[in-house]
Amino acid sequence: MKLHFDVASCVRAKSKFSECTKCMDICPDSISMQDNLPTFKTATGVEAAACVGVCPTEAFALSDFSTTEFFFTFLESKVRLISPNINVPCLSVLSVEHLISLALASEEPITLDLSVYDPDSILFEHIEKTIDEANFVLSSFSDKQLETNVDDMPHHPEDDSGSQKIPDQAGNDGSSEEEVLSRRSFLGNVSLKGVIKHKKAFDEAVDADELQRFDIDVSVVEKIKDKQLPDKRKILFTTLKRAGVPDVLEVLPEEEISFVSQKYIDDNCTNCQICYRICPTGALSSDGKFSLIHFDAMLCLKCRLCHDACEPDAIHLQKGFEIKEFFEPTQRTLATFSVKRCNECGNYFTYTGGEVTCPRCMVEEEEAMFLHENAKKMSGEKE
């Protein structure tokens, strides 16, 4: 089981200003940064499973295990224990979104086996924090909670076949073609504008000792332009729709939620367009005239790419996250601008007063005037 990386999905590939280091922070012994991109040895595998769980865009994946396929096979089985001993390579491979979705979709309580981890390890602390966050979010609108087991387990429950199958990246877990199509249909029910369903992984390298480095070539650039919503967000979106709207819609502290946010934009915004052009999911968007900035909270991955790339630092996180967005997602307008057609080139631009000329034409006019004055000066010197 080896680690794969889709460079086109990584937020650091979308902008050199990205400061995301989640994968490296959780797997410091396996992942490093070179040329602004994650780098790891080709032999890297399950020991870096945590990077799969923390990556907001699902840029990382393990061969022979798919978190998306696990969601379906686990719910179809009779097992309600998630353990590295029976059905996952590591609990850290599951994100907060996965855990919330599993809890909501399961009729019976789910237990996560922490007995195989060292309580003093960083990994144990990370997994425990992920579970706590999932339970905190669940408590705001549901009575379902994830349970944990930290004691030694002499026996593990089995499904009807005597063992729990671990699905591979292609979903080859013994399921029928009809079951696989049913799962794909489940995800396909989430129809969000600009969303592309599938992600692709790079081929495994032959030399296990070689340092696997990634470059941004022409084909990667084309993929970077796509707006993609991770499967884990589609699963969460769908399970939330089936959960029903709670009677009370709470507001949770922003710092207590790691995977979604609400934003606002202050008056420093210049409408440079960079934020919604590089947003990996299309959570930030505009209209044909670029006269406003829309925001969809349920498409936000809290990757902070828009914050990192905003030169005037005009984008901010709202202090509270409204649970209402989970059940009644709305597209909010964060900023509006006066837009006019340039008298010179005819293109739309953000108008702030004065001549109706776009910044580019004004620069070209200034350059032309400079060249003209310079030519006159040189002509006078020759005479």
The CB density around residue 343, as the number of other CB atoms within 10 Å, is 11
Tell me how far apart the alpha carbons of residues 141 and 31 are, in angstroms, rounded to a whole number.
37
Amino acid at 315: I
**Residue 220's pLDDT is what?**
57
Distance of CA 377 to the CA centre of its chain: 57
pTM for the full predicted model: 0.79
- More reliable by pLDDT, 56 or 176: 56
pLDDT classification of 228: cutoffs 50, 70, 90: confident
- Per-residue confidence at 383, pLDDT binned at 50, 70, 90? low
pLDDT at position 203, please? 31
196, 218, 171: which is closest to 61 by C-alpha? Answer: 171
Residue 211: its pLDDT value, please?
A: 52
Look over the chain and give the mean of its residue pLDDT values, rounded to a whole number: 83
Tokens in use for 102? Answer: 């599993």
pLDDT, tens digit (0-9, with 9 covering 90-100), for 37-72 = 999 988 898 999 999 999 999 999 999 899 999 999
C-beta of residue 122 within 8 angstroms of C-beta of residue 25:
no
Q: DSSP readout, 87-148?
A: T-S-GGGS-HHHHHHHHHH-SS--EEE-TTS-TTSHHHHHHHHHHHHHHHHHHTT-S---EE
- Whether residue 233 is predicted with pLDDT greater than 80 in this model: the reply is yes
Higher pLDDT, 230 or 187: 230
pLDDT for 189 beyond 80: no
Phi/psi of residue 292, nearest 5 degrees: -160, 170
pLDDT of residue 171: 43
Model pLDDT for residues 325-379, shown as the tens digit of each residue: 999 888 999 999 998 888 889 888 888 888 888 888 888 888 888 787 777 777 7
pLDDT of residue 358: 85
Distance CA 263, CA 249 (A): 18
Two tokens at 210?
């070689």
Q: What is the identity of the amino acid at 144?
A: K
Strand partners, 339: 350
Question: If you classify domain 251-337 with CATH, what class do you get?
Answer: alpha beta
pLDDT at 240 > cutoff 80: yes
Instruction: Look at residue 300 in the predicted model and tell me its pLDDT.
Output: 96
C-alpha pair distances (Å), 153 with each of 9, 84, 124, 156: 39, 12, 17, 7
What are the Cα distances from residue 101, in Å, to 70, 72, 203, 230, 245? 12, 11, 30, 14, 15
**The predicted structure's pLDDT at residue 160:** 41
- Residue 212 bridge partners (DSSP): 40
Question: Lowest mean pLDDT: which of 112-116, 205-209, 356-360, 369-373?
Answer: 205-209
Q: Which residues in 51-79 are b (16+ Cβ under 10 Å) and which e?
A: bbbbbbbbbbbbeebbbbbbbbbbbebeb
Do the Cβ atoms of 173 and 75 come closer than 8 Å? no
339 by Cβ neighbours in 10 Å (0-12 / 13-18 / 19+) ranks as middle
Residue tagged 């877990």 (tokens): 173
Positive or negative CA dihedral for 265, 95, 118, 150? positive
More confident residue, 127 or 349: 127
> Structural domain boundaries of the chain?
3-231, 251-337, 340-382
**Spatial separation of the C-alpha atoms in residues 285 and 273, rounded to whole Å:** 9
Mean pLDDT, to the nearest integer, of 256-275? 94
Residue 214 pLDDT exceeds 90: no
Q: What is the pLDDT of residue 170?
A: 40
How large is the C-alpha radius of gyration of the chain?
Answer: 25
Among the ranges given (82-96, 154-168, 251-265, 345-359), the one the predictor scored with the smallest mean pLDDT: 154-168
H or E element, residue 62: strand 60-62
Burial of 373 (0-12, 13-18, 19+ CB in 10 A): exposed
